[in-house]
Amino acid sequence: MTHESVWYSRPRKYGKGSRECRVCSHRAGLIRKYGMNICRQCFREKSTDIGFTKVRFNSSLDCPIRFSSNTTQPHSPT
């Protein structure tokens, strides 16, 4: 039995080995929430295209501040 026939020989129907990133087919660091199935590296690249914005809560103003990756200035909440 050669190495090629043994490598990845058992079926992957459940568990970590059965899931992969839909962008780059990477198996580690997978974000599965909301059915995205994207690895964390691809999520950082594509998050603005998907519609995610980084939100940080300012305790002195008692309101959330949204940051866009395109600008360094915070957006005012609407």
Each residue of 6-55: pLDDT tens digit? 777 788 888 888 999 999 999 999 999 999 999 999 999 999 999 998 88
Q: Where are the beta strands (DSSP E) in the chain?
A: 30-31, 38-39, 54-58, 63-67
pLDDT confidence of residue 35: 93
Give me 60's structure tokens.
């002195």
What is the three-class DSSP state of 19?
Answer: coil
Per-residue pLDDT for 64 more than 80? no
Domains located in the chain, CATH noted? 12-67 (4.10.830.10)
What is the three-class DSSP state of 17?
Answer: helix
pLDDT confidence of residue 37: 94
The better pLDDT of the pair 56, 32 is held by 32
d(CA 78, CA 59): 18
d(CA 10, CA 17): 10
pTM, full prediction? 0.62
